[in-house]
Amino acid sequence: MNSASSSTACVVCGSLQTAVFAQVRGVPVHTTLLWRTRAEAQGAPVGDVDLTYCRECGHIFNPLFEESKTEYTQAYENSLHFSPLFQKYAESLSGRLISRYGLHGKDVLEIGAGKGDFLAMMVRGGVRRGIGFDPSYVPEAAHRDLVDSGRMAVVQRFYDPETAGATADLYVCRQVLEHIDRPRGFLERVRAGMPEGRGAVVFFEVPNTLCMLRDLDVWTIIYEHCGFFTPQSLGRLFEVSGFDVLSLDEHFEGIFLGIEARAGEGVGRGGNGEAVPGGLASLVEKFERRFEEKVLYWKTTLRALSQAGKRVVIWGGGARGVTFLNMVDTERVISYAVDMNPRKSGAYISGTGQQLIPPSGLISYKPDVVILMNPIYREEVAGTLRELGVHPELVSA
Ligand SMILES: [Zn+2]
């Protein structure tokens, strides 16, 4: 590891026992922004990543992240709700939270509600009222009945407890914390905005960095993620931010971490998170060794496919797809990115500029190879390809 950077203080625990273990240069700053023209996509702003590991609390973060480079607008699109598998996971999560915390007839507040899909699910599941905050929100026809009847509202701005004008019994925040470069200050504000004496709880969900390390899943490195949480660092963050952790589990085949917590006795307790196990440090070391190898493998593989005249597409135009294309498809071998989300069709990938097409676009294109960005969807994608009557080789990135 690069000891020259060892003076960067950890954003979770403040320790100076940190070191850079992987570097990526010139990645698009907005992996999930939709671009209307190829020229716009190829001119998209870029930034650098120094993955930095804290030996004290097990957190990984990018000190080169500049918040001013990122912006969330209505063109921001990261909804996973078009995958049936993800839909099923979200339904079960919503049902479990409602029953565990007795939320029938209670209120839910969602920070970073996206298009309001999960909030609507919770309201339909029995919650009295759902209020969400998200600058990228656009009203959805599918939720109009809930909005019209006053059971659901999404405010088109960032959540600020001081001006929110609402409190709740459950605070939900999914896939947001990893985008925040000062997560401790953010959590302390959330905690301060929670009502006293109502037994309110929070549920936060983040990508599970153990998966990235264990599976050498280098495509989850994106600029927008300035924080990479391990179970150790996630628990530690909530403790030092004044929460009592109720549970901390892996979700959705282990690719997410979910934490449930209550406002604790006082803000900024020392934090007594479990010690970082030695296994985590060795995973980080292994990742450091194999990271460059994996990138080189894919560059070589794509070159060989190109020389053999193969038609190659990727399946998954989200963040992983954007990272994969920008890190390895430097010679523009891949023609399209397939995505289930119809809202993305026709748009272009940041940086490399491939067009996003729906699965039906493969009927005429007849690819020889489909590179799957997320192996969790393998069966689902294989089934869709069979239904479309196309028979490419399906490989995982
Ligand atoms: Zn730390």
Whether residue 259 sits in one domain with residue 123: yes
Spatial distance between the Cα atoms of 370 and 316, rounded to a whole number of angstroms: 10
CB-based contact 81:70 (threshold 8 Å): no
Answer yes or no: is 69 within a domain: no
Whether residue 210 sits in one domain with residue 165: yes
Q: Tell me, what's the pLDDT at 97?
A: 98
Instruction: Using the mean position of ligand 1's atoms as its centre, give its distance from the Cα of residue 182 in Å.
Output: 12
CB-based contact 79:115 (threshold 8 Å): yes
Whether residue 253 sits in one domain with residue 374: no
Q: Tell me, what's the pLDDT at 264?
A: 85
Instruction: Using the mean position of ligand 1's atoms as its centre, give its distance from the Cα of residue 72 in Å.
Output: 27
Instruction: Using the mean position of ligand 1's atoms as its centre, give its distance from the Cα of residue 187 in Å.
Output: 16
Instruction: Using the mean position of ligand 1's atoms as its centre, give its distance from the Cα of residue 18 in Å.
Output: 8
* Total of domains in the chain: 3
Instruction: Using the mean position of ligand 1's atoms as its centre, give its distance from the Cα of residue 61 in Å.
Output: 9
Instruction: Using the mean position of ligand 1's atoms as its centre, give its distance from the Cα of residue 281 in Å.
Output: 13
CB-based contact 342:317 (threshold 8 Å): no
Nearest to 291 by CA among 396, 221, 372, 233: 221
Position of tokens 């004008």?
165
Whether residue 315 sits in one domain with residue 263: no
Q: Which of 229, 248, 272 is the last residue of a domain?
A: 272
Instruction: Using the mean position of ligand 1's atoms as its centre, give its distance from the Cα of residue 59 in Å.
Output: 5
Instruction: Using the mean position of ligand 1's atoms as its centre, give its distance from the Cα of residue 214 in Å.
Output: 20
Q: Is the four-CA dihedral 103, 198, 159, 269 of positive or negative sign?
A: negative
Which residues, other chains included, contact 323 with Cβ-Cβ below 8 Å and sequence gap of 6+? 27, 31, 218, 219, 220, 221, 222
Whether residue 383 sits in one domain with residue 317: yes
Answer yes or no: is 231 within a domain: yes
Which whole-number Å values give the CA distances from 147 to 113, 163, 184, 384, in the listed order?
14, 21, 33, 34
Nearest to 298 by CA among 286, 284, 312, 287: 312
Whether residue 263 sits in one domain with residue 362: no
| Type of residue numbered 56 | E
Answer yes or no: is 70 within a domain: no
Q: Which of 204, 238, 272 is the last residue of a domain?
A: 272
Residues of the chain with pLDDT under 70: 1-6, 71-82, 266-275
Answer yes or no: is 73 within a domain: no
Spatial distance between the Cα atoms of 241 and 188, rounded to a whole number of angstroms: 5
Q: Which residues, by Cβ under 5 Å, contact ligand 1, an ion?
A: 10, 12-13, 15, 54, 56-57, 59
Whether residue 285 sits in one domain with residue 196: no
Spatial distance between the Cα atoms of 223 and 24, rounded to a whole number of angstroms: 9
Sheet containing 369-372: order of strands: 355-357, 336-338, 312-315, 369-372, 393-396
Answer yes or no: is 75 within a domain: no
Helices (H), 197-252: 209-214, 231-240
Answer yes or no: is 79 within a domain: no
Answer yes or no: is 174 within a domain: yes
DSSP letter assigned to residue 380 = H
Task: Provide the token pair at 1.
Answer: 């590891």
Whether residue 323 sits in one domain with residue 200: no
Spatial distance between the Cα atoms of 178 and 89, rounded to a whole number of angstroms: 20
CATH number at residue 238: 3.40.50.150
Tell me the three state secondary structure of residue 385: helix
Instruction: Using the mean position of ligand 1's atoms as its centre, give its distance from the Cα of residue 159 in Å.
Output: 26
Instruction: Using the mean position of ligand 1's atoms as its centre, give its distance from the Cα of residue 278 in Å.
Output: 15
Whether residue 318 sits in one domain with residue 199: no
Whether residue 240 sits in one domain with residue 204: yes
**Pairing mode, strands 170-174 and 355-357:** unpaired
Task: Provide the token pair at 113.
Answer: 């509600």
Domain of residue 152: give its range.
84-272
CB-based contact 45:71 (threshold 8 Å): no
Answer yes or no: is 8 within a domain: yes
Whether residue 256 sits in one domain with residue 283: no
Whether residue 154 sits in one domain with residue 135: yes
CATH number at residue 301: 3.40.50.720
Q: Which of 238, 272, 306 is the last residue of a domain?
A: 272
> Residues in the chain, how many?
397
Nearest to 34 by CA among 344, 359, 331, 314: 344
Q: Tell me, what's the pLDDT at 309?
A: 97
Instruction: Using the mean position of ligand 1's atoms as its centre, give its distance from the Cα of residue 133 in Å.
Output: 29
